[in-house]
Amino acid sequence: MTTPDSQAQIQVYQQDPNELKAWIKAQARELGFSDCVIAKPDAQAELVRLQEYLDRGYHGDMKFLEENLEKRANPTLLIPNTKSVICVRMDYLVDLPKPRLVPYAPNSAIIARYARGRDYHKTMRGRLKMLAAKIREKVGEFESRPFADSAPVFEKSLAESAGMGWTGKHTLLIHKKSGSFFVLGELFSSLELPFDEPASKHCGSCTACIDICPTQAIVEPYMLDARRCIAYLTIEYKGIIPEELRRGIGNRVFGCDDCQLICPWNSFAQKTNIEDFHPRHGLDQVSLLDLWQWDEATFLSSTEGSPLRRTGYQSFMRNIAIGLGNAPFDPQIVQALQAQQNQYDEIVQVHIDWAIQEQLAKSR
Cα 208 to Cα 165, 199, 214, 259, 265, distances in angstroms: 18, 21, 12, 8, 11
Q: How far apart are CA 209 and CA 171, in angstroms?
A: 10
Q: How far apart are CA 69 and CA 30, in angstroms?
A: 34
pLDDT in tens, the chain (364 residues): 434 444 444 444 467 999 999 999 999 999 999 999 999 999 999 999 999 999 999 999 999 999 999 999 999 999 999 999 999 999 999 998 775 554 567 889 999 999 999 999 999 999 999 999 999 999 999 999 999 988 999 999 999 999 999 999 999 999 999 999 999 999 999 999 999 999 999 999 999 999 999 999 999 999 999 999 999 999 999 999 999 999 999 999 999 999 999 999 999 999 999 999 999 989 999 999 999 999 999 999 999 999 999 999 999 999 999 999 999 999 999 999 999 988 999 999 999 999 999 999 998 7
Name the active-site residue from 42, 149, 284, 353. 149
Does 55 qualify as catalytic in the annotation? no
Cα 13 to Cα 20, 87, 111, distances in angstroms: 10, 21, 47
Q: How far apart are CA 259 and CA 184, in angstroms?
A: 18
Strand partners, 146: 187
Binding site for tRNA: residue ranges?
238
> Domain ranges in the chain?
17-359
State CA 241 to chain mean position distance.
21
